[in-house]
Amino acid sequence: MERILFYILALIIVIFAIAAVSSRKMLRSVIYLLFVLCSIAGLYFLIDYNFLAAIQLTVYAGGIIVLIIFSVLLVHHIELELELAKPLKQIITALACLVGIGVILTTIYSYDFKVIENDTAITTADVGSKLLSYDQGGFILPFEVISVVLLAAMIGAIIIAKGKQVEKHENKRIE
Amino acid sequence: MSIIEMVLIALVYLGIFSVAGLFLVLLERRVAAWFQLRIGPNRVGFQGLLQTMADALKLVSKELTGTEKADKFLYNLAPYFVIITALMALGVIPFTKDFQAFDINIGIFFLIAISSIGVIGILLGGWASNNKFALIGAMRSGVQTISYELSVGLSLLTMILLTRSLQLSEIVEVQKNGWLIVQGHIPAIIAFMVFMIAGTAETNRAPFDMVEAESELGAGFHTEYSGMKFAYFFLAEFINMFLIAAIATTVFFGAWLSPFGITESIPWLGVFWFLLKTLILVFLMMWFRWTFPRLRVDQLLTLEWKYLLPINLVNIVIMAFVVWQNLIIQF
């Protein structure tokens, strides 16, 4: 049962990943990408890691894809189609992709996977206490670093959005 | 659980909630009529009970039209996004102790995750119909949902501080010593008010119906939809309203628990209590709709970012203090 589900999800991921890069209509590629991301969430559900699955849905499907769609709506007209790249570029990209696939496949096949007989699902409480623990194996430092980075990004966004107003204030001060 | 069992449960849920959605439409029309001193639909069936059924049959039999240069694939896909996410979210709602399809340990978080996908359907529908009004409606909806999702999430997070669990069955279990709105008193009441405001906004209902503001945009993002595809959007709106009310019932008002445990010995009455509380909250949302005038776009964003969000953040700190000092009221 789970094996069948895995193959179905994997098939969806592969098909829509190819469709996402080969479609010449921008919004359609975004939707294909959405299907890929949702199927990845499905994989997480399959291995009983519900928390990560929900994160995948909220952050990628609900957040990033909505933002991408939003920007596409702003710049893209319904009749436009993306241009085909020049042959030379196509060949270079294909080579780069092949190298990438090669690297990933060799890593996967050289790694010695161990099957862990562990049926207990990881609860959100575990994730939370691990994130805030400062003992061995705790994640408090990366957690705090990411918070600071996000804060900086938010302040930066506000400064950019307010742009001219901030400059005016500074000019006044100089005068 | 076998596959056949799962499929059967899914079909039962589909059947119950598509009919329940239709009756919510009827309820809305009767309530609207009552607020406007009219009678409302009262001819088809006893007191108009079959009116929306007849409407649904009419919608099924109608021709499906579309615009000339629409992106057909996305145009047809959009309604399903909206209706499927709405129906998926219903699976985790605890109607009684046993009447809950999917008791996942991230319950509330799953609800938030699923509801954040629904907006994609609206954005797609608006863009793919190749119509200016639909596009503007869709853009507004995107802005609105992204903003108000924050408040919905944060107000529920405030309550999670009390329950210490995301699982809905455990949230109900905690409330056996008093509903959370009583246990958490002041911060819980603030969280409830924020949740109802943000929830109404997330379902795109008046006074937050910028998405389809009739006087400005025709019908907004679903201007170009007809027949069954329009019905999907319409039904999804009502199921979403039911969902918001059901989440509020579960998190604030003890879900299927009876007041003071008066019918604790008869567990199946839980459905009755759950539906009663939910319908009262649904009525509250209808009351909003027919009382308040529509907000402008800038007022909408001011309300969220300058009022609700700061209130919410302060409220979480207050709730944390209440939980820390153990100022919870329990019976």
Sign of the torsion formed by the C-alpha atoms of B129, B132, B134 and B140: positive
* Residue A163 pLDDT exceeds 80: no
Say which of B104, B120, B126 has its CB closest to residue A50: B104
Q: Which of A86, A108, A136 is the last residue of a domain?
A: A86
Q: How far apart are CA B19 and CA B223, in angstroms?
A: 24
Task: Tell me which of A5-14, A27-36, A137-146, B58-67 is least confident.
Answer: B58-67
DSSP per-residue codes, B168-193: HHHHHHHGGGS-HHHHTHHHHHHHHH
Helix (H), strand (E) at residue A171: helix A140-174
- Is B329 a domain residue? no
**Dihedral, CA of residue A8, residue A12, residue A13 and residue A15, to nearest 10:** 130
Q: Residue B122 class from Cβ within 10 Å (0-12 exposed, 13-18 middle, 19+ buried)? A: buried
Same-domain status, B8 and B136: no
- A26 lies in the same domain as A74: yes
- Judge if B300 and B154 occupy the same domain: yes
- Contact of A88 with chain B, judged by CB distance below 8 Å, is answered with no
Please, where are the H alpha helices in A23-139? 26-46, 50-55, 65-75, 87-110, 124-132
On whether both B66 and B215 belong to a single domain, the answer is: yes
In a domain, A98, yes or no: no
Query: Which pLDDT belongs to residue B217?
Result: 75
A1 and A81 share a domain? yes
Integer Cα distance of B256 and A41 in angstroms: 31
Q: Which residues of B285-318 are buried (b: 16+ CB within 10 A; e: fewer)?
A: bbebbeeeebbeeeebeebbeeebbebbeebbee
Interface test with A, best of B7, B166, B167, B301 (most A CBs within 10 A): B166
B190 and B244 part of one domain:
yes
Overall domain count for chain A: 2
How crowded is the C-beta side of A11, counted as CA atoms within 13 Å? 6
Is the residue at A131 inside a domain? yes
pTM: 0.88
pLDDT tens digits, A13-33: 999 999 998 888 888 898 999
Mean pLDDT of B256-282: 84
pLDDT at A118: 66
ipTM at complex level? 0.84
Tokens of B129: 């119909």
* Contact criterion met (CB < 8 Å) for B74 and A57: no
Contact residues, chain B, for A50 at CB < 8 Å: 104-106, 110
Asked if the C-beta of B92 comes within 8 angstroms of chain A's C-beta atoms, the answer is: no
Q: Which amino acid is at B12?
A: V
The CATH number of whichever domain residue A9 belongs to comes to: 1.20.120.1200
pLDDT digits (tens, 9 = 90+) for B157-190: 999 888 888 888 888 888 888 888 888 888 999 9
As a whole number of angstroms, the distance between CA B154 and CA B319 comes to 12
Provide the domain limits for residue A81.
1-86
Instruction: Considering only the beta carbons, identify the residue of B69, B113, B135 that sits closest to A58.
Output: B113
- Quote the domain boundaries for residue B50: 1-61
Q: Which residues of A130-148 are buried (b: 16+ CB within 10 A; e: fewer)?
A: eeeeeeeeeeeeeeeeeee
Are residues A1 and A70 both part of a single domain? yes
Q: Evaluate the omega torsion of the peptide bond into residue B41 and state whether it is cis, within 30 degrees of 0.
A: no
Q: Are B160 and B229 in the same domain?
A: yes
Domain C-terminal end among B61, B88, B107: B61
Q: Following CA atoms B133, B134, B136, B140 in sequence, which dihedral angle do they give, to the nearest 10 degrees? A: 140
CA distance A109 to chain B (A): 34
Q: What mean pLDDT value characterizes chain B?
A: 86
Contact A121 B105 (CB under 8 A): yes
The answer, for A51 touching chain B at a CB cutoff of 8 Å, is: yes
Is there a single domain that holds both residue A19 and residue A76?
Answer: yes
- pLDDT of the residue at A175: 58
> Largest Cα–Cα distance in chain A?
74
A81 and A1 together in one domain: yes
Q: Same domain, yes or no, for B187 and B217?
A: yes
Asked if A138 has any chain B CB less than 8 Å from its own CB, the reply is no
- Residue B330 within a domain: no
Share above pLDDT 70 across residues of chain A, in percent, rounded to a whole number? 91
Q: Quick one: closest CA in B to A31, which residue? A: B74
Same-domain status, B97 and B222? yes
Asked, for residue A107, whether it belongs to a domain, the answer is no
Q: What is the pLDDT of residues A53-70, one digit of tens each?
A: 888 888 888 888 888 888
Query: Within a domain: residue B267?
Result: yes
Contacts with A65 from chain B: Cβ below 8 Å: 120
Show Cβ contacts of residue B229 under 8 Å, excluding neighbours closer than 6 positions: B64, B76, B79
Same domain, A60 and A127: no
What is the number of helices (H) and of strands (E) in chain B?
13, 0
Residues of B in contact with A125 (CB under 8 A): 164-165
